[in-house]
Structure 1
C-alpha cells in the first residue's frame, strides 16, 4: 500500500514537472522574437535588466500576498548569488547581446545547445547516467536543431562570430547553473527563490545598461510597451517560476532536454512575427524535437 502510494505521488510530481516545463518552453520560445522586436526601440542590457528587476518586484508582491516568506537563511546566500549569476545574469546579458549579431531564430537555436551541455554535466556532477533512452532523445533533439539550422541557412560567418560565442557561453553557464541547482538545492519556496534570483541577477545588468546605453523611455512605441510587459510578466514571473518548479520535480537532464522545444517555438514564432526565413526543415525539426522530448520524459 505504501509502495503504491509512493509510486502515485512520484508520478504526480513528475506530471506536474512536465506541465511546468511546457509552460516554460512556450514562454521562453515566444520571448525570442519579442525580444528581437523590442531591441529595435531599446538597447539589450537595459531591456533585460529593467524588465527583470520589475518582474522580481512583482514576484515579491505575489509572495507577500500568498504568505510566502522572503527570508533567506544566512547559509543559503552564497548559493543564491551563484545561481543568480549563472541562471539569470549571464543568460540575460549574453543572450541579449547575442541578438545584436544574430537573427532571433539563429540565437534561439544556438542557445539551446544548453540541454546537451546540461545532460553531459549531470553525469559527473549528479550521477544521472546517459541511458540509451536519454542518448536517443538527445540525438533526436540535436537532429532537430540541425534541421532548424539547415532550414534557416545558418551561416557561421565572421560577422556573426561574436553573437555565436556569446550565445554558446550563455548556454554553458545556464547548463552549469541547472546542474549545480540540483546538486546544491536552495531551501526556499519557489516564488521566493525566483524573486531573489531574478532581482540579484538582473540588478547589475540593469545598472550597467542604464549607465552605458542611456535608453529613452520616449523611444518605446505602444507595441514596445506591450511587449515589455510580456517580458516582465511572462518571461520572468511565469516562465522562470515554472522553470524552477520543473527543476525541483524532474531530473536535471530530463528538464534540460525538455527545453529543446524552446528553439522550435522560437523559430516558428520568429517566422510568423518577424518574417524571418522559415525553411522546409522546420516540420522535420519539430517532429524530431518533440520526439526527443517525449523520449526524455519517458526516461
Structure 2
C-alpha cells in the first residue's frame, strides 16, 4: 500500500510538471502583450527561479562553478528555453509542441557520439516514424516540401534538439548532485535568454525590455514559482519511477498544451496536424516503452 501511494504521488508530481510546461505558453503571451519579448521574459523568470533555488540549495553553487561540464548543460538547457518559450509565444502552440517533441529522435542521434550508444533497428524505425510525422506537420497543405516555414517552427525544432542534448548531458552527469544540475539549468535559462536578447537588441530585432507594471511583475513571479515547483516535482517523480514511466507521463504535456491552446484560440487542429502529431507522439511513446531487458531487470528486482 505504501509503495502504491508513493508511486501515485510520483506520477502526480510528474503530471504537475507536465501541466506547468503545457500551459506556460499563456503567461509568456500575456507578458508579450505588455511589450515584454519572450527572451526578456525568460531571462527575468529564470533569474527569479535561479535566485529562489539558490536560497534553497546554497551548496549547489560551488559545485556548479567548479564543474565545467555543468556549464555545457547550462548552455543546452538555456537554448532549450530560448527555443521553446519564444516559439510558443509567437507560433501555433500545438504545432510548436509537436515539433518540440521530436526530441526522442534527436536523443537517438546525439547519444551515439556522446554516450557511445549505437542506434538499434527499433530506434531507427522510431526515428523514421517521428520524421514522417514532422513532415506531415510541416506541410499542412500537403502541397510543398516539408520544411520549416516560420520562425516559430525553426525555434521549436532547435529547442527540441537542445532539450535532447540536455537529457543526454544529464545522463552523463549522473555523478553530479541534482541540486547543481538544477541550478545550472536555471542559470542557463537566465544567461542564454539574456545573451540572445542582448545580441538581438544590438541588431534591432529584439526590443528593449519595458518596465513591467505590478500585474506583469506578479505574473513573472508566479511563472518563476511555477517553474521552480515543476522542477522540484520532476526531481521527486523521476527519482521514484522507472525512466520509461517518467517519459510516458511527461507526454501529457502535449495534451495540456493542445487543450489549453485550442480552447483559448492559440492553435488550430487541422487533419494533417492531428495525423502528423499522432505519429510524433507514437514515436515518443514507443521510445519510452520498456525494453525486454528493462522488464527483466524490473521483475528480478521486484
TM over 0.5: same fold? yes
Deviations 1:55-113 (A, max 9, x none): 1111122235xxxx3353489521111111102x1012223333465222222221111
Contact 1:30/1:269 (<8 A) preserved: yes
Deviations 1:238-279 (A, max 9, x none): 223344555656676765565333223212111223453345
In the alignment, structure 2 segments of 5+ residues that lack a partner are 202-206, 292-302
Deviation (angstroms), 1:176: 1.3
SS in 2 for 1:217: coil
Alignment of 1:117 with 2:109, yes or no, is no
Which residue, out of 37, 45, 48, partners 1:43? Answer: 37
Which residue, out of 80, 93, 113, partners 1:104? Answer: 93
What is the number of equivalent residue pairs in this alignment?
Answer: 280
Pairing of 1:1-299 with structure 2 (within 5 A):
18-41=11-34, 42-63=36-57, 69-73=59-63, 77-87=67-77, 89-99=78-88, 101-122=90-111, 125=115, 127=117, 149=137, 160-188=149-177, 190-206=178-194, 209=197, 212=201, 213-218=207-212, 220=213, 222=215, 224-235=216-227, 237-244=228-235, 255-256=246-247, 258-274=249-265, 276-278=267-269, 289=281, 293=285, 296=288, 298-299=290-291
Cα distance in 1 for residues equivalent to 2:103 and 2:49: 24
Contact 1:261/1:290 (<8 A) preserved: no
TM-score by length of 2: 0.69
Contact 1:94/1:170 (<8 A) preserved: yes
Deviations 1:10-62 (A, max 9, x none): x9998776554333222211112332332222111110011101111111222
In the alignment, structure 1 segments of 5+ residues that lack a partner are 1-7
Deviation (angstroms), 1:119: 4.1
RMSD between aligned residues: 4.5
Change (3 A) 1:112 1:234: same
TM-score by length of 1: 0.70
Contact 2:100/2:157 (<8 A) preserved: yes
